[in-house]
Amino acid sequence: MFDKIFVPKKIILPNGKVVLEKRSYTPLILLILLIATIFSVHITGFSMEVIVKRIKEFFVILDQMIPPNWEYTPKLWQPLMDTIKMSLLGSALGAIVALPVAILASSNIIKSSIVVSIVKLLLSILRTLPTLVSALIATFIFGLGTMAGTVAIFLFTIAYVAKLLYEQIENANMDAYEAMESIGLTRIQAFRYAIFPQVLPNYLSTSLFCFEGNVRYASILGYVGAGGIGLLLSEGIGWRNYANVGIILLMLAITVFIIENLSEHFRKKLV
């Protein structure tokens, strides 16, 4: 289509051969980007002047976070543990549920294409929904507290792990599966012995990776009342008690660091 609007230029070589030079997309792309930028500046009210004049406020806040309020630490343990519990439970249950869901979404195992497409669509929608939004909805149903956060993480984990898992299953080697089906195993049995071993290491590794990310998400879920340390964060910022915010962020950073390294260690062992 592009070639029709911007006709390729003809170049004739000295020996008479003709080459069609494709028009470069670059100027068009740059123009679109420029227009989009101007438009965005307009819509968002972006102003360099405000930044220059008031950016110091940002650093004032940052400055007040240091030194952090160490005395606040004892009050942090409980919410911090809640955050970890939420992500652990949500990830574990989510990863377990993801397995049957992924099977339902694999076109090479499930013969009904309607089921497969519906499950895939639902997974995409679930994956797209930001965790904070599903946590917010969950607080309305399950009340304020860790339960809502766990549900949000649970749902996201299903969507994330199941997507990567069904891609794996669909790309798995089917020879053994077909052989087993032909000697009379049920589809589930054939899956268990022929495909599951192929995708297992990746499944575990994906689940661990998802857990890592979930710890980060879980830390802010408290902001919408879904339990964990996020509640204290929003309190600290609301009351402008930045030294408290500082210590929370520090503890959070350390926790995330430890969990990421532990999980990375095990993931490397898996693959």
Partner 1 sequence: MIKFSNVEKKYPNGLLALNDINLTIEKGEYVAVIGLSGAGKSTFIRCINRMHDITDGTLIVNDVEVAGLKGKEVRQFRRNIGMIFQSFNLVTRTTVLKNVLVSFVPDLPFWRKIFGLFTKEQKMQALSALDQVGILDKAYTRVDQLSGGQQQRVALARTLAQNPDIILADEPVASLDPVTAGQVMDDFKKINQEMNITVIMNIHHVDLALAYADRIIGIRKGEVVFDGKSSMVNQSVLDHIYGRAQSIEVRKEGAKMNHV
Partner 2 sequence: MNAIEKQLLSEKKNYQYITWIFVIVFVLFIWSLSAIQLNNMGTSGLTIAKNIITGILHPDLDLLFNITEKGVAYLLIETMAIAFLGTIIGAILAIPLAFLSASNVVPKPLAFVTKILLIGIRTIPAIIYGLMFIRVTGPGPFAGVLTMSLISIGMLSKLYADVIEDLDTSVLESMTSIGCTMFEKIRYGIIPQLLAMFLSIVIYRFDMNLRDASVLGLVGAGGIGAPLIFAMRSYRWEEVGSILIGLVLLILIVEFISNKIRNKLVRGY
Question: Residues in the site for partner 2, rule: CB under 8 A?
Answer: 33, 36-37, 39-41, 43-47, 50-51, 54-55, 57-58, 61-62, 82, 84-86, 88-89, 92, 124-125, 128-130, 132-133, 136-137, 140-147, 149-150, 216, 219-220, 223-224, 227, 233-234, 237, 245, 249, 252-253, 256, 266
Number of residues in contact with partner 1, rule: CB under 8 A? 8
> Is residue 21 a contact point for partner 1 (CB under 8 A)?
yes
* Residue carrying the six token digits 């890592």: 212
- Burial of 154 by CB count in 10 Å (0-12 exposed, 13-18 middle, 19+ buried)? buried
Q: Of these partners, partner 1, partner 2, none, which one is at the site of residue 21 (CB under 5 to 8 Å by kind)?
A: partner 1
> Is residue 268 a contact point for partner 1 (CB under 8 A)?
no
Q: Of these partners, partner 2, partner 1, none, which one is at the site of residue 145 (CB under 5 to 8 Å by kind)?
A: partner 2
> Is residue 22 a contact point for partner 1 (CB under 8 A)?
yes
For partner 1, the binding residue among 1, 14, 111, 271 (CB under 8 A) is 14
β-pair partners for 10: 20
Closest distance of CB 12 from partner 2, Å: 27
Q: Of these partners, partner 2, partner 1, none, which one is at the site of residue 23 (CB under 5 to 8 Å by kind)?
A: none
> Is residue 31 a contact point for partner 1 (CB under 8 A)?
no
> Is residue 62 a contact point for partner 1 (CB under 8 A)?
no
Separation CA 23–CA 3 (nearest Å): 8
Residue whose C-alpha is closest to residue 84's, from 185, 196, 214, 232? 214
Separation CA 63–CA 211 (nearest Å): 32
Say if CB 146 and CB 82 are below 8 A apart.
yes
- For residue 125, count other CB atoms closer than 10 A to its CB: 10
Nearer to partner 1, 15 or 182 (CB): 15
User: CA-based Rg of the chain, rounded to a whole angstrom?
Assistant: 26
Q: What is the 3-state composition of the chain as percent helix, strand, coil, each rounded to the nearest 5? A: 80, 5, 20
256: which 2 tokens? 């995330």
